[in-house]
Chains A and B, each alone.
Chain A
Amino acid sequence: MREWGSDSSDAAALYVFAVCDAPDPALFADVPGFAVGGPLRGLRCGELTAVVQTVPAADFTDEAWQARMSDRGELERYARAHHHVVSAAAALWRTVPLPLATLYHGEDRARQALIAETERFRAALKRTADHAEWGVKVYAAPPPTDEPSPALRASGSPAGRSRPVPGAGLAYLDRKRGIQARRERRHEESLRVADTVDAAFRNVAAEVRRLRLHGPELTGTSRLQILNATYLMAENRADELAPLVRELRERTGAEIELSGPWVPYSFIGEV
Chain B
Amino acid sequence: MTDLDLEREACPIPGPPNSNLADILERILDKGIVIAGDIKIDLLDIELLTIRLRLFVASVDTAKKAGIDWWETDPALSSRAARDALQNENRELRERLEAIESRNDDTRTAR
Residues of chain A at the chain B interface (Cβ within 8 Å): 13, 16, 57, 60-62, 65-66, 69-72, 75-76, 79-80, 82-84, 86-88, 90-92, 96-105, 109, 113-114, 117, 120-121, 124, 130, 132-133, 135, 142-143, 147-152, 161-164, 166, 168-169, 172-173, 176, 183, 186-187, 190, 211-221, 224, 230, 235-236, 238-239, 259-263, 265-266, 268-270
Q: State whether A135 touches B67 (Cβ < 8 A).
A: no
A67 to B92, CA, bound (A): 46
State whether A214 touches B22 (Cβ < 8 A): yes
Contact of A103 among B22, B37, B68, B73 (CB under 8 A): B37
Among candidates B3, B10, B28, residue contacting A82 with C-beta atoms closer than 8 Å = B28
Contact of A218 among B13, B33, B57, B65 (CB under 8 A): B57
Residues of A near B42 (CB, < 8 A) are 62, 65-66
| Binary CB contact string for chain B from 36 to 61 against chain A (1 if under 8 A, 0 otherwise) | 11111111101101111111111110
Q: Could you say which of A57, A60, A168 has the most chain B C-beta atoms within 10 Å of its C-beta? A: A168
CB distance from B69 to the nearest CB of A (A): 8
Please tell me which one of the listed residues A60, A109, A183, A266 contacts residue B70 in the complex, with CB atoms under 8 A apart: A183
Is the Cβ of B37 less than 8 Å from the Cβ of A101? yes
- In Å, the complex CA distance between A86 and B24 comes to 11
- Within 8 Å CB of B14, what residues of A? 87-88, 91
A262 to B99, CA, bound (A): 58
Q: Does B86 contact A (CB under 8 A)?
A: no
Nearest 6 CB-CB pairings of A with B:
A149-B67, A216-B63, A220-B57, A91-B12, A87-B15, A238-B10
Judging by beta carbons under 8 Å apart, are B29 and A132 in contact?
no
- Alpha-carbon separation in the docked complex, A142 to B67 (Å): 9
Query: Is A99 touching B31 in the complex (CB atoms < 8 A)?
Result: yes
Q: Nearest chain-A residue to B63 (Cβ)?
A: A216
A259 & B16 in contact (Cβ 8 Å cutoff): yes
Question: A65-B43, A91-B13 are known contacts. Are A186 and B70 too (CB-CB below 8 A)?
Answer: yes
User: Residues on B close to A: CB < 8 A?
Assistant: 3, 6-7, 9-16, 19, 21-44, 46-47, 49-60, 62-68, 70-71, 73-74, 92, 95-96, 98-100, 102-103, 106
A142 near B41 with CB under 8 A, answer no
Query: In the docked arrangement, what's the CA distance between A179 and B59, Å?
Result: 23
A103 touching B38, Cβ below 8 Å = yes
Query: Separation in Å of the A172 CB from the closest CB of chain B?
Result: 7
Residues of B with C-beta under 8 A to A103: 37-39, 41
Q: CB distance A183 to B73 under 8 Å?
A: yes
Q: How far is the CA of A259 from the CA of B98 in the complex (A)?
A: 53
Find out whether the CB atom of B102 lies under 8 angstroms from the CB atom of A163.
yes
Which residues of chain B are within 8 angstroms of A102 by Cβ–Cβ distance?
Answer: 35, 37
- Complex formed: what's the CA distance from A143 to B68 in Å? 7
B52 CB contacts on chain A under 8 angstroms: 69-70
**The residue from A69, A82, A173 contacting B96, defined by CB atoms under 8 A apart:** A173
Contacts of A62 in B (CB 8 A): 39-42
Can you list 28 pairs linking A and B with CB atoms under 8 Å apart?
A13-B39, A82-B28, A84-B15, A87-B13, A97-B31, A98-B32, A99-B29, A104-B38, A109-B38, A132-B11, A132-B13, A142-B67, A152-B65, A164-B102, A166-B103, A172-B95, A183-B70, A215-B47, A217-B50, A217-B54, A217-B55, A221-B63, A239-B6, A261-B10, A263-B13, A265-B27, A265-B28, A269-B31
